[in-house]
Every structure is written in C-alpha cells, then in structure tokens.
Structure 1
C-alpha cells in the first residue's frame, strides 16, 4: 500500500514572484497617483495664472481704455454736431467703443470660466480672496 501526496518544498520561489509582482503593481499605482496629482496641480497653477492675466487686462480696459474711447467717441460726436467733424468718424469711434465693451464682457466671461475650472481643480477657493472673486461680477 502506498500513499502519495505533494510536499510544498520549493514554494518560496513562486511566492517571491507573486510578492514582487504585487509590489511592482502597488508602486506603479503610487506613481500613477503622483503623476495625476502633479497634472492637476499644474492645471490649477495655469488656471490661476490665466485669471491673474485676465484681471490685469480687465483693469486696463476698465480704468484706461474704455474711458478714453468714450471720450474720443463723445469728442467725435460733438465735432460732428458742430459741423466740424465727419459723421463716419463719429460712427467709427462709437463702434470702436462698443467693440471694446464687447471684448471686456468676453474677458469677464473667460475669467469666470477659468475661475470655475480652478475651483473644480482645487475644490478650495482660499487661494483667491473673496474681494477679487466678486470684483468683476458687475
């Protein structure tokens, strides 16, 4: 009478391979997570830089360009009313002023979209003061 069974004598090699494969998968997942976090951080920094550039441009339009264009359009209209200017020039000045206002509105919309993207990426709006968030909502 004989009984046969397998003895697990050399199972260490097989377990080592499983352990190293599991360790490699874990390290790959960690690396992938770090890369995703860095990508999100880079996108958030880019969005914040875009917001700052748009803030500068919006300030320029509101503080300098639009008032100058309004004065120029008023001067052209006054000159036309006094028979000193050309009607086409008065119309061109007013159209330029309106185009600048449209550009300002587009910049404000772009800023709002970029701010929403930044908030989505960070889920924390503490990096932007509440006054700068509401500064251009008018």
Structure 2
C-alpha cells in the first residue's frame, strides 16, 4: 500500500512539473508575440508621426489621426499582454519635434486641436505645441 501511495505521489509531482513548464512555455510565446507586436507598433507610430508632420490637408490629417488612434490602441493591447505575462512593457518614447520638443498632443479628450486642424476650424493657437 505504501509503495502505491509513493507511485501516485511521484506521478502527481511529475504532472504538476509538466503543467508548470507548459504554462511557462505559453507565457514565453505570448510575451514574444506581444514584444514583436509592440516593436512593430512603435515603428508604425514613428511613420505616422512623420506623415502627420508633412500633411497640410486637414481632412487627410484627420484620417492620419484616426490611424494614429488605432495604433495607440494596438500598442496598449500589446502592453497589456506583456503585463499579463508577468513582464514590464518597454516604454514608448514619442519622436522629438522640430524644435526638440515632444510631438503635439492628439485632438480629443479635452485636449487642443492639432494646429492644422485648429486653423481649419478657425481656432487660432488651439493645440499649439508647447502649450499644454
């Protein structure tokens, strides 16, 4: 009877160890995918920032901001997956503006409009970089 109990106990320990290894493997896979997604989204945000700075048409700029908003949501999703995997997300640092400042804030949520959109809506000075 004692030998049967020992066999059951060894089997239970082996199964628990295998399950722990499986969980670690799944966590590592999710972390790898989230990190790769995070890197791609950071590159995408950098490209969008360059495009936003060059664009002069308010309607096109509005569409670029919509894309920017979606990319930011993707970045947050990747960061959430990284946190769920037990790691810390890499911080996103916005590219420097033409005068060394950070990129202007995005329109919405009580913040000012981008200067080109503000001009199109007849609002002078709204959302100017450096005025937060």
TM-score range, shorter chain: 0.5 to 0.7
- List aligned pairs for 1:1-138, cutoff 5 A: 18-71=1-54, 73-74=55-56, 77=57, 91=59, 93-119=60-86, 125=87, 133=89, 135-136=91-92
- Cα-to-partner distance string for 1:14-58 (whole Å, 9 max, x where unaligned): xxxx12321221122112211221122112211221232122212
More helix by share: 1
Specify whether residues 29 and 59 from structure 1 end up closer, same or farther in structure 2 by C-alpha distance, changes over 3 A only: same
**2:73 is paired with a residue of what secondary structure?**
helix
Provide the alpha-carbon RMSD of the alignment: 2.4
Count of equivalent residues: 94
Specify whether residues 137 and 68 from structure 1 end up closer, same or farther in structure 2 by C-alpha distance, changes over 3 A only: closer
| Structure 1 residue ranges without an equivalent (≥5) | 1-17, 78-89, 120-124
Specify whether residues 57 and 51 from structure 1 end up closer, same or farther in structure 2 by C-alpha distance, changes over 3 A only: same
TM-score (normalised: structure 1): 0.56
How far 1:106 sits from its partner (Å)? 0.9
| Structure 2 residue ranges without an equivalent (≥5) | 95-132
* Partner Cα separation in structure 1 for residue 5 and residue 50 of structure 2: 67
Computing the radius of gyration from Cα coordinates, the structure with the larger value is 1
TM-score (normalised: structure 2): 0.58
The higher relative CO (CA closer than 8 Å, separation ≥ 6) is in: 1
